[in-house]
Amino acid sequence: MMKKLCDAMIDWLTLFFVLILLFTGTYQRNSIWKDEISLWKDCVKKSTLKERTHHNLGFAYCESEQLDDARKEFEEALRLNPHYSLSLYNLGWVFYKKGFLDNAIQYYKKAIESDSNFPDSYYNLGLAYYQKGLYKDAIEAYEKLLELKPDYENGHNSLGLAYKGLKEWEKALESFYEELKYHPDNVYAHLYLGESYEAIKKYPMALVHYKKALSSPDLPEGQKIRKAILSIEASQK
């Protein structure tokens, strides 16, 4: 009987110490991995020669808007693997966010060369061209995007805006209607249609789409649209 009691006590003590070790280990890991940055910093320390860990640390820095730190990690990932397409893309995004559009364009192009099936690279390349006023280049990027993924949200809107920048109104209108075909609830397509119809003095159609755009209470341009509607209605009296 005494032997059984001693064995039971030993089993309980063993379990107790195992639980203490597990708890201590969990606490230490949680203190290291208290956020994404800490987690991937820890991974980088353990795997300094893996491009993926540097990339993921860079992405965590992006999420917290620490763009200079993100850039360093993406560049390190690319030093380890110059064809790592996600780092090429995200480095382009960092440059875009910092306003270095030529650098952004350079890295988006490299990302496409590395992986021509990633639609976001075409979309963001188009955005960078558009911001530079290079509307024809933007159109080319968006057309390639839509060949790859015709239902890419805001892809047709962006194509329409590039045509709008060139004052090619029919193509712009066609693109905004195409956006609504894939995404019927896209209020921005209605906003851009309203602006386009107003620009070519088709005021009744402009009013139709401006009012549809106002169906979204969260649209930042709401006050601007209301003023446009009042202006058009006043001119029609």
Do 92 and 67 have their domain in common?
Answer: yes
Q: Which residue has the higher pLDDT, 49 or 201?
A: 201
* The model's pTM: 0.80
Number of domains the chain is built from:
2
Share of residues in the chain with pLDDT > 90 (%): 59
- Domain assignment present for residue 8? The answer is no
In contact, 90 and 59? CB cutoff 8 Å: yes
Reported confidence tier of residue 11, pLDDT bands at 50, 70, 90: very low
pLDDT digits (tens, 9 = 90+) for 175-216: 999 999 999 999 999 999 999 999 999 999 999 999 999 988
In contact, 135 and 165? CB cutoff 8 Å: yes
- Domain assignment present for residue 115? The answer is yes
- Domain assignment present for residue 12? The answer is no
DSSP annotation of 183: -
**pLDDT value of position 91:** 96
**Phi/psi of residue 201, nearest 5 degrees:** 65, 30
- Domain assignment present for residue 209? The answer is yes
Do 125 and 172 have their domain in common?
Answer: no
Read off the CATH number of the domain in which 218 is found.
1.25.40.10
Helices (H), 100-186: 101-114, 119-131, 135-148, 155-165, 169-182
- Domain assignment present for residue 11? The answer is no
- Domain assignment present for residue 24? The answer is no
Do 79 and 123 have their domain in common?
Answer: yes
**pLDDT value of position 6:** 42
In contact, 182 and 188? CB cutoff 8 Å: no
pLDDT digits (tens, 9 = 90+) for 15-36: 444 444 454 444 444 444 448 7
Q: What is the mean pLDDT of the chain?
A: 85
**pLDDT value of position 138:** 98
Q: Which of 90, 77, 73 is nearest to 124 (CA)?
A: 90
